Amino acid sequence: MRIYEVEYNAETPIILSKPSVTNVFQNSYKYLPGSTIRGAILTYLKRNNHDIKEEMVKPSMLFHPAFPVKDDLVFKPAQVLLYKCKLCNAYKPLNPYEVNLDNFAIPFKCDNNHPFALKHIGGELIAVKDGKVVDEYKKPKYAIFDSVGINRVTASSDVNLLYTYIALINAKYKGLIVTNDSCKFDLKELLDNEVIFVGKGINRGFGCLRVKIKEKSKHDIIKKYNRLNDKIVLKALSPVFNINIIDNGLVTNHEFKIKSSKCKILSNGPIDVSGFSIVSNTEKVKITALKEGSLLITNNISEDDIVDILLNGIGPFACSGFNIVEVLDYDSPY
Ligand SMILES: [Zn+2]
């Protein structure tokens, strides 16, 4: 197994948008999904004449989502039990290691005693510095571009085809890529300091990301965790789901078993996810998952199992950046 820590620096504006029925494309993702990174890197390898057929069928590379970086802080989804006061902006987390999960009261006052002013911010991107929440991810910078469609027959601009792009500028992201022993690509050698392309408008110059790669060891990534009564709380960094195959097809459920221990779940709500085939250029089957920030609580897992979970995910399609979790820190439960 090899672990790469990857930085993605945008050199041009970025538009990661959901399919649009209008001519307006707006960046609608807060972070770089693993599936987007996977598509961009496989495309890069293919264009540079590497054989990726085997990788498409039997993935040996696992792409974690990459989260925005600002002033050296990485902004990740907040856990579901984090609240913020609308009046004084103070944060109030409930610590899932400490509350009785079967019967806990949702707070209605902040620490400055403002009643009924708390809003739930689970899933929003936050960073923690010196034990304090820095802020929800500060409004990213956008720029608006209009672009004229070109009529292929007359090779001139087409008045009826005006596209508007609302694009993210100065974006910078950080995430992991983990490869297993059957992987034949040395990603540092192949990709360090190269550019990959993501999102809409690539042929108009958008979506250019310069990749910087450092190889890491397990010990760089995983730290010792402070456990309470053997409890381990995992926070979803991506949508998480489980799939069962039954006679009628696929069934998704949210009954997670981690290393054969059953999990208790604190959901941050449902989200529909689907992959995007770079072969057929279409969306794949939609699956209902639990949103980022959801918590999975389990116990009795060994340090080795935790390492495995953190690097390799807890469910299907981890290679495309789904089912990626981290351990919620007991001392900093955000
Ligand atoms: Zn307050």
Going from the Cα of 92 to the center of ligand 1, the distance in angstroms, rounded, reads 9
pLDDT score at 119: 93
Higher pLDDT, 144 or 191: 191
Cα 113 to ligand 1 centroid, rounded to whole Å:
6
Q: How far is the CA of 84 from the centre of ligand 1 (A)?
A: 8
Q: How far is the CA of 91 from the centre of ligand 1 (A)?
A: 8
Q: What is the pLDDT of residue 253?
A: 64
- Percent of the chain exceeding pLDDT 70 equals 89
How far, in Å, is the centroid of ligand 1 from the Cα of 134? 16
User: Which residue from 11, 1, 2 is spatially nearest to 212, judged by alpha carbons?
Assistant: 11
d(CA 203, CA 138): 29
Residue 43 alpha carbon to ligand 1 centre in Å: 49
Decide which of 262 and 91 is more confident.
91
Task: Give strand pairing partners of 66.
Answer: 32
Ligand 1 center from residue 201 Cα (angstroms): 43
pLDDT of residue 18 exceeding 90, the answer is no
To the nearest 5 percent, what fractions of the chain are helix, strand and coil? 15, 40, 45
Amino acid at residue number 333: P
Contact 332, 132 (CB under 8 A): no
Residue matched to tokens 């604190």: 266
Distance 116 CA to ligand 1 centre (A): 9
* Contact predicate 133/111, CB 8 Å: no
| Confidence band of 273 (pLDDT split at 50, 70, 90) | confident
Q: What is the pLDDT, as a whole number, of residue 197?
A: 95
What is the structure's pLDDT at 208? 95
Q: State the distance from the centre of ligand 1 to the C-alpha of 115, rounded, in angstroms.
A: 8
- pLDDT at residue 209 in the model: 96
* Arithmetic mean of pLDDT, 298-313: 88
Rounded to a whole number of angstroms, the CA Rg of the chain reads: 21
Residue 133 alpha carbon to ligand 1 centre in Å: 15
The alpha carbon of 295 and the centre of ligand 1 are apart by a number of angstroms equal to 25
Q: pLDDT confidence of 47, banded at 50, 70, 90?
A: very high
CA of 124 to the centre of ligand 1 (A): 19
Residue 120 reports pLDDT greater than 70: yes
Separation of CA 98 and ligand 1 centre (Å): 23
At 149 the pLDDT is 72
Whether the CA torsion 174, 226, 135, 293 is positive or negative: it is positive
Q: Binning pLDDT at 50, 70 and 90, where does residue 258 land?
A: confident
Mean pLDDT in the chain?
87
Q: Report the amino acid identity of residue 4.
A: Y
Q: What is the pLDDT of residues 189-222, one digit of tens each?
A: 999 999 999 988 888 889 999 999 999 998 887 7
Please tell me the distance from the alpha carbon of residue 240 to that of residue 314, in angstroms, as a whole number. Answer: 8
* pLDDT band (50, 70, 90) for residue 166: confident
Nearest to 289 by CA among 24, 3, 35, 12: 35
